[in-house]
Structure 1
Amino acid sequence: MTLEVLFLFFSAFMAATIFPFYSEAWLFILLQQGYDPVPLVIVASLGNTLGAVVNWYLGRYLLKYQHKRWFYFKPEQIGRMQIRFQRYGIWSLLMAWLPVVGDVLTLIAGIMRVHLLPFLALVATGKTLRYLAVVYFAGWFAQ
């Protein structure tokens, strides 16, 4: 595996956490350089999904610190997030690929104690479809 592909994994992983990374741009560049799209989509999807698992894990254990002074969210904010998540349900995780909103969704899924396997299936599906769209549009721009 080349250094460029490893950076794609890293950027996809970081993009799924709270850090501002843009893996789609790097994927687009690699596609323009002639890399095979299939392994790139697999690497990017895997990295991005694993990054979302970090958010899920943080959410899962986040609430035990809500009584601490440094805790970022107020109880009312958590309550509103939980109500919205319950309204749209677990299927909203298909939208975990969205910037900012997706990170919050994966964190809330952890808070809501969504089981890991359905979480992985839905998040990976949405994120893979996003990377497939990048491949499609990269081919469209190349023509």
Structure 2
Amino acid sequence: MQGLLTWLALPGVGLPALFVMSLLAATLLPVGSEPVLVGYLVAVPERFWMAIAVATLGNTLGGLVSYGMGAGAHGLFGRWRATRRRDMATLLHADPKPVLTPARARAERWVQRFGAPALLLAWAPVVGDPLCAVAGWLRLPFWQCVIYMAIGKFGRYLTIAWILAWTIAPT
């Protein structure tokens, strides 16, 4: 274990490894970045703020990947739906009109109620990653999403690092 911690502490390996793991952890892949952050901070405690910044940046960019996947899926679904509606309208000799389903109406009300601040929970296990994808699907404002995601993810990494520092601090 000490060998792994020493390897992660190398300036050329530690922070890039933390960045990559943080980015991957924020996508729908089942990986965690916390062990890498803790290992890095145990090995190199003087780089506390740099490690927090790198982990936050990587995790926020990973959340934006999920946001982009949601936005892209929304666009593809919209094009498929429009084509299907036009085909049905041609078949029925009718004018295609958008349909507001009850589920879509509820989603729109939810977005109006919570909006981008809901992404403060983007750090949360299980729901955080899909929340970023849903934000993209619902076309929440991009830069607001970035800010709220980054704040939430920074808070998580700061809390983890603070708990680590508090538990191993010399008495």
- For normalisation by structure 2, the TM-score amounts to 0.71
Inter-partner Cα distance in structure 2 for 1:110 and 1:52? 10
Where in structure 2 are there 5+ consecutive unaligned residues? 1-10, 82-100
Contact 2:57 2:150 in 1 (8 A): yes
SS in 2 for 1:100: coil
SS in 2 for 1:62: helix
Name the structure 2 match of 1:51: 62
Name the structure 1 match of 2:36: 26
Name the structure 2 match of 1:71: none
Shift of 1:140: 1.5
Percent identity between the two aligned chains: 32
Matched, 1:119 2:145: yes
Deviations 1:33-54 (A, max 9, x none): 1241110001000000000110
Matched, 1:6 2:16: yes
- For normalisation by structure 1, the TM-score amounts to 0.84
Bigger Rg over Cα:
2
Shift of 1:77: 7.8
Shift of 1:105: 0.9
Inter-partner Cα distance in structure 1 for 2:19 and 2:141? 25
SS in 2 for 1:114: coil
Structure with more contact order per residue of length (Cα contacts < 8 Å, sep ≥ 6): 1
SS in 2 for 1:20: coil
Name the structure 1 match of 2:132: 106
Q: 1:3 to 1:47 in 2, by over 3 A?
A: same
Q: 1:116 to 1:3 in 2, by over 3 A?
A: same
SS in 2 for 1:119: helix
Inter-partner Cα distance in structure 2 for 1:76 and 1:25? 43
Contact 1:13 1:49 in 2 (8 A): yes
- The AA in structure 1 aligned to 2:75 is K
Matched, 1:91 2:117: yes
Where in structure 1 are there 5+ consecutive unaligned residues? 69-74
Shift of 1:89: 2.7
Matched, 1:17 2:27: yes
Q: CA RMSD in A?
A: 2.2
Q: 1:45 to 1:107 in 2, by over 3 A?
A: same
